Amino acid sequence: MKMKKMMLGLVASLAVLSLAACKNQNDDPAAGDGSKKEGAQMTIGVLQQVEHGSLDAAYAGFQEGLEEEGITDVTFDYQNAQGAQDQLKTMSQKLVKEKVDLLVGIATPAAQALLNETTDIPIVVTAVTDLVEAQLVESNEAPGGNLTGTSDMVPIEKQIDLLLSVIDNPEKIGIMYNAGEANSLLQANLAKEYLESKNIKVKELTATSTNDVQQVTNSLAKDVDGIYIPTDNTFASAMPVVKKVTEETKTPVVAGSVEMVQDGGLATFGIDYHSLGKQTARIAAKILKGDAKPGEIPVETSDDLKLEVNKEVAEAIGIDPDKIVAPE
């Protein structure tokens, strides 16, 4: 009888401990929102569309930004599709299967691929021009769902004004981009509309891959007074090719991002993707710390625009770099 009472007491004690454990787990306010208790190891899955200066800078800025937010105990599972669209789905599935704490999509196709695979894991994206147009969020003000992030929409009219300012009596401007990239098509259309409103002729040529860039640039540079390239991943990956051709033809090129100019364009008044990555990290930190859910955080645009001039290119095509100034 005494032994029976002892066993009953032990069972009762275990039941109390079990209930307490369940209560602690169920009462955790961070459950299901991607947050972790302070000091816990986190895993962040990163999917990048292709390797080039702008996107690489965004990723580096994101990592630095998290450190500045005090999030340092992190393992990054970094996947780069290297421009292969078929790899985006495979890599997205891999990251989702690993049940990471947060997903990061760098560039529009990468962001879309991640969202297609999960509506549960929180996602932050960057280097996406129009999140609504890309069907990633319901609205920029109230994204809803499990995704938010930063837009890399550039001041297109100011960039066009910058290009026109370095050309004497411009009559025809060329625009180069990959029509398969929704963000590029959007920017190209806006640039075309603005140029036509100024009664300037426009010639557009597109490339489907980096293999087409040299031929497209050759054809366009011979027939226009200047070239505009939006924040296009295909051309961003091949700016040294653009540089070689346009230096020979003495054709000024204004590109969408700082990194594209550093890699071979003449100038831009645009986004610093390293800063954009840091800005994205601040959003991610809110999610990881449990301060907000993705759908509650408005999409942000770049808060750091700058004039970037490639002096080497300017001198090569006969333009005084000191006379290139930021548009008003």
Position 18: which residue type? S
| One domain, residues 202 and 258 | yes
**Does residue 31 lie within any of the structural domains?**
no
Burial class (CB within 10 angstroms; exposed 0-12, middle 13-18, buried 19+) of 139? exposed
Q: What is the reported pTM?
A: 0.81
Top-confidence residue, 18 or 228: 228
d(CA 225, CA 297): 43
Tens digits of per-residue pLDDT, 292-316?
A: 999 999 999 986 789 999 999 999 9
d(CA 63, CA 52): 17
* CB count in 10 Å sphere of residue 211: 10
**Continuous H helices in 37-84:** 53-68
Tens digits of per-residue pLDDT, 229-286?
A: 999 999 999 999 999 999 999 999 999 999 999 999 999 999 889 999 999 999 999 9
| One domain, residues 224 and 262 | yes
Q: In the chain, how many H helices and how many E strands? A: 12, 12
| One domain, residues 231 and 250 | yes
**Does residue 163 lie within any of the structural domains?**
yes
Q: Quick one: tokens of 257?
A: 């991002």
| One domain, residues 229 and 311 | yes
Q: What is the pLDDT of residue 18?
A: 40
| One domain, residues 190 and 316 | yes
**Residues 6 or more apart whose Cβ sits within 8 Å of residue 291:** 35
**Does residue 36 lie within any of the structural domains?**
no
Given a contact cutoff of 8 angstroms between Cβ atoms, the answer to whether 157 and 164 are in contact is no
> Does residue 26 register a pLDDT over 70?
no
Tens digits of per-residue pLDDT, 137-183?
A: 999 999 999 999 999 999 999 999 999 999 999 999 999 999 998 89
**Which structural domain range is residue 76 located in?**
42-153+272-303
**Does residue 12 lie within any of the structural domains?**
no
> Does residue 129 register a pLDDT over 80?
yes
Please provide residue 18's backbone torsions phi and psi, each rounded to the nearest 5 degrees.
-65, -45
d(CA 147, CA 299): 9
| One domain, residues 183 and 264 | yes
| One domain, residues 48 and 149 | yes
Name the band, by pLDDT with cuts 50, 70 and 90, for residue 24.
very low
What does the pLDDT average to over 86-100? 97
72-110 CB burial, b ≥16 within 10 A, e <16: eebebbebbbebeeebbeebbeebbeeebbbbbbbbbbb
| One domain, residues 168 and 285 | no
| One domain, residues 113 and 168 | no
**Does residue 225 lie within any of the structural domains?**
yes
| One domain, residues 136 and 165 | no
Name the band, by pLDDT with cuts 50, 70 and 90, for residue 16.
very low
Question: What is the DSSP pairing of strand 253-255 with strand 226-229?
Answer: parallel
- List, as one string, the DSSP characters of 202-261: EEEEE-SSGGGHHHHHHHHHTT-SEEEE-S-HHHHTTHHHHHHHHHHHT--EEESBHHHH
Q: What is the pLDDT of residue 304?
A: 78
Position 201: which residue type? K
Name the band, by pLDDT with cuts 50, 70 and 90, for residue 40.
low
| One domain, residues 121 and 138 | yes
**Residues 6 or more apart whose Cβ sits within 8 Å of residue 68:** 278, 281
| One domain, residues 252 and 179 | yes
**Does residue 33 lie within any of the structural domains?**
no
> 39-53, 134-148, 217-231, 282-296: lowest mean pLDDT where?
39-53
Tally of domains within the chain = 2
What distance lies between CA 108 and its chain's CA centroid? 7
Indicate which CATH number applies to the domain containing 248. Answer: 3.40.50.2300
